[in-house]
A and B are shown apart, each in its own frame.
Chain A
Amino acid sequence: MGVKGSLAWSLKIPKVSKPLFQATYRELMNYLIQTSSNVDEINQKLKEIGFKVGEYLLMDYADRIRKHAVAFHQFASTLQLAYKVNSGQEFTSIWISDDRRVVKFTDVKCPICEGVEIKDLPGLQYCNLVSGVFQAVLTLRGFNGDSYQESCRAVGDDACTWTIKLLE
């Protein structure tokens, strides 16, 4: 954790209780599960919601973060900071491909799906809202990229991993 992230988290960010956030998120998921016909639809809706959330967060982000990513792979550090100031924890690891066109963010203690175990919805991307937020940042910053959740602890994976990919 960099000094900036720690300071921002400690001093600048208004906080809400984690159980409150998790319970609200869980009910959002329940609603989506009940009103969608398949897992793909749930994942897609969640990403769309995340996009809207990202659009909103970007207003804070645009104002508070002075050094914006110029090259695609620099999102590794800007999104790490964004994740930290919004969740209070860092990604466990970040991997950048050799050609710098793919970045994978991994959290083995994802706060979104903590304690959640879903066995009957294979392929569910429970934390895909994060992908939507990332997608908003990429798209609204003018990058042609894609974002998706690659693995999720809620459905039995070891960690939650979100991938962003430059498309052109």
Chain B
Amino acid sequence: MALEHILGKLKYDGSVTGFALLTNNGQPFLSFSLPEELLPQIHGALRIHASSLKLVNVMTKQGTLILARVDPNWILAVHFSEESLGSALQKTKTVVDMLEQVELPPPPSNIATELPVEAVEEVPEDLSPEIEKMKAATITEGAEVGVPEAGLVVVRHGCIVHHGPRYTDAVTLGSPLNRLLKDKSAKFAVDVLLLADEKRTVFKISQELGKSVERVIDVVTWCVSERILTVECPEEQEAGVAPIVEYPLYEGDLKKAKKEHQAVLMLCDGVHTVQDIAAELNIPYFKALQSIVPYRGKTVKFVGKDKAGE
């Protein structure tokens, strides 16, 4: 079962207000609406339990927070608003059991190994100057490595969405970029990032979220401009990739065919379309077709081929 399917169980659970996968040092990675004010409490609990942590509950102002170890690298944090402790523990345990069947990637190497003791408190109230600085840095850096300007990237429904250099930063709760993302489109942008798995297209993401393609394109376009995501849009996709085209193939004896049909049938070699044959003989399409259809299903068969495979 895929990671997001398992996490989907929590996402669609009405009693869950948020969840995140945490590294051992308490850095949220795949976070979904986990209230940021819980981070200090999470860090405190992790410091106390450290490596012995298996399954603990932490009472919060808004409800119950359950921390559960998934593997040596990851801890699942789930926050419940209205749920009995037993049920909250059980729900978390069920998801952890499923997560154990999934091979989780190791935490990104750029995440600090030390617990960010004061990190949350140090985040300045007014983030805008910092964000502006970050934006400027991004553009310069992008130009240096030859990344095309965001304005030039046209995100379409068929584009495959990949993680960009700042993906981790964007999904890390409390980071300026994460806040900026949430300011832009609240939970929706986070959902899109959560589903960007290097394989899904914009269209697929929109289907899974049940949202319009346009909204997903908006978010992805913005994330591409911020280098949170990159997109791979094959050129030929717009032209219809590889349409299946039928090519007539005559397999009978030409001498047995009507004389007036022979010129057309000679070209029915499984390589030319009816259009090609008409053009080559300089006759109307319909005339070429009329020379072929009497033999269809007998000595002429139509071979359906992917045009790109010619």
**Are B212 and A34 neighbours in the complex by a CB distance under 8 Å?**
yes
**Are A58 and B289 neighbours in the complex by a CB distance under 8 Å?**
yes
CA distance A66 to B246 in the complex (A): 24
Instruction: Report which of B213, B286, B302 forms a contact with A62, defined as CB distance below 8 A.
Output: B286
Known contacts A34-B157, A34-B213, A35-B157; is A63 also within 8 Å of B286 by CB? no
How close is A138's CB to chain B, nearest CB, in angstroms?
11
**Are A59 and B289 neighbours in the complex by a CB distance under 8 Å?**
yes
Interface of B is mostly: helix
> Which residues in chain B, 193-243, are within 8 Å of chain A measured between CB atoms?
203, 206, 212-214
A4 interfacial by beta-carbon distance below 8 Å: no
* Number of A interface residues in the complex (CB < 8 A): 12
| Minimal Cβ-Cβ distance residue in A for B245 | A52
A115 interfacial by beta-carbon distance below 8 Å: no
CA distance A58 to B285 in the complex (A): 11
**Are A59 and B285 neighbours in the complex by a CB distance under 8 Å?**
no
CA distance A59 to B246 in the complex (A): 11
A1 interfacial by beta-carbon distance below 8 Å: no
Q: Which residues of B contact A140 (CB under 8 A)?
A: 285-286, 289
Q: Which residues of B contact A59 (CB under 8 A)?
A: 289, 293, 296, 302
* Number of B interface residues in the complex (CB < 8 A): 16
Task: Provide the A72-116 mask, 1 if CB < 8 A to any CB of B, else 0.
Answer: 000000000000000000000000000000000000000000000
> Which residues in chain A, 18-59, are within 8 Å of chain B measured between CB atoms?
34-35, 37, 56, 58-59
Known contacts A59-B296, A142-B284; is A35 also within 8 Å of B203 by CB? yes
Known contacts A34-B157, A35-B213, A62-B290; is A142 also within 8 Å of B296 by CB? no
Q: Which residues of B contact A63 (CB under 8 A)?
A: 293-294, 296
A141 interfacial by beta-carbon distance below 8 Å: yes
| Minimal Cβ-Cβ distance residue in A for B217 | A37
**Are B289 and A62 neighbours in the complex by a CB distance under 8 Å?**
yes
**Are B286 and A141 neighbours in the complex by a CB distance under 8 Å?**
yes
Add 15 more A-B contacts to A59-B296, A142-B284 (CB < 8 A).
A34-B157, A34-B206, A34-B213, A35-B157, A35-B213, A58-B286, A59-B289, A59-B302, A62-B286, A62-B290, A62-B293, A63-B293, A68-B286, A141-B285, A142-B285
A to B CB contacts below 8 Å, 16 in the list: A34-B206, A34-B212, A35-B157, A35-B203, A37-B214, A56-B246, A58-B286, A59-B293, A59-B302, A62-B290, A62-B293, A63-B296, A140-B285, A141-B284, A141-B285, A142-B285
